[in-house]
Amino acid sequence: MIKLIPQNRIFVFAGDGPRGPAFKINTKITNIAQMINVPMVCVSLEYTKKIQLNTWDHFQIPLPFGIIKINYKKLHFIEKNEDIEKVNLMLEKELNTK
């Protein structure tokens, strides 16, 4: 993955990673973005009709005939000297705000 990103490939990650905790940005993702100097864009989805599962991540399945709202946030470049924990808190706040 790290070799493919500089070749103009696009990657999408769930911010909380495959194992959670839910709604907390996984530090590995921000470390990679910082290491290879690629931007991050936070995207969240809202559904008017959905099934929400009783799982650790509150997984949602959109239902037919509903509306899906896609929220794009601003582009973030993580500087080499930035504190990753502060970046993660800022991204979490941005993602969890409608």
Q: Which tens digit of pLDDT belongs to each residue from 84-94?
A: 999 999 998 88
Statement: residue 5 has pLDDT above 90:
no
27-36 helix and 84-95 helix, angle to the nearest 10 degrees:
110
pTM beyond cutoff 0.75: no
Convert the pLDDT of each residue in 42-66 to its tens digit.
888 899 999 999 988 889 999 999 9
